[in-house]
Amino acid sequence: MPSWLIGQAAHRAQTLVSEALAQEGMRRQHFTVLTSLSEQGEASQAALGRRLWIDRSDLHAIVGELEREGLIARVRDPADRRRNVVTITSAGKSTLKRLDTLIDRAQREFVGPLTASERRELIQLLERLIRGRPIG
């Protein structure tokens, strides 16, 4: 069944990515927060949670872990002293670069059995499935 095969492939891909992140002591949500702060800029903790669809209490724990590692900082918002703004630090940016390299390696391992042409075709087919467009 195609749905079962896609699920198995997704599980393998997630395992490879999780193992890659674990090499740096990170989890997928750590990577997601760092990437969001790097690409979309600083945000209040509440806005960051909404942006990433992460539960408030889960995000609080993730932010605390990343802050203890010096990868992000919580600072008072100068426009509203009642809230904190979360920002990525230079150490966070360095870590994110290493994580990107590890994840790229995991992605290459995942699609390694395919030729370059097959990889492009796989991506096109998966994108079509996600959009729900019929073939042809």
**What band does 135 get if pLDDT is binned at 50, 70 and 90?**
low
According to DSSP, residue 56 is labeled H
Alpha carbons 121 and 82: distance in angstroms, whole number: 50
Mean pLDDT value across the chain: 94
Instruction: Convert the pLDDT of each residue in 101-116 to its tens digit.
Output: 999 999 999 999 999 9
**What band does 133 get if pLDDT is binned at 50, 70 and 90?**
low
DSSP 84-134: EEEEE-HHHHHHHHHHHHHHHHHHHHHHTTS-HHHHHHHHHHHHHHHHTPP
**pLDDT > 80? residue 68:** yes
Q: Tokens 């890659």, residue?
A: 20
Q: Specify the CATH number for 2-131; select among 1.10.287.990, 1.20.1440.230, 3.40.50.10490, 1.10.10.10.
A: 1.10.10.10
Task: Identify the pLDDT of residue 64.
Answer: 97
User: Which amino acid is present at 6?
Assistant: I
Domain positions in the chain: 2-131
Asked whether 128 and 135 are in contact (CB, 8 A), the reply is yes
Can you read off the two tokens belonging to residue 91? 């150490």
Asked whether 72 and 34 are in contact (CB, 8 A), the reply is yes
Instruction: Determine the average pLDDT of the residues in 6-32.
Output: 97
More confident residue, 133 or 10: 10
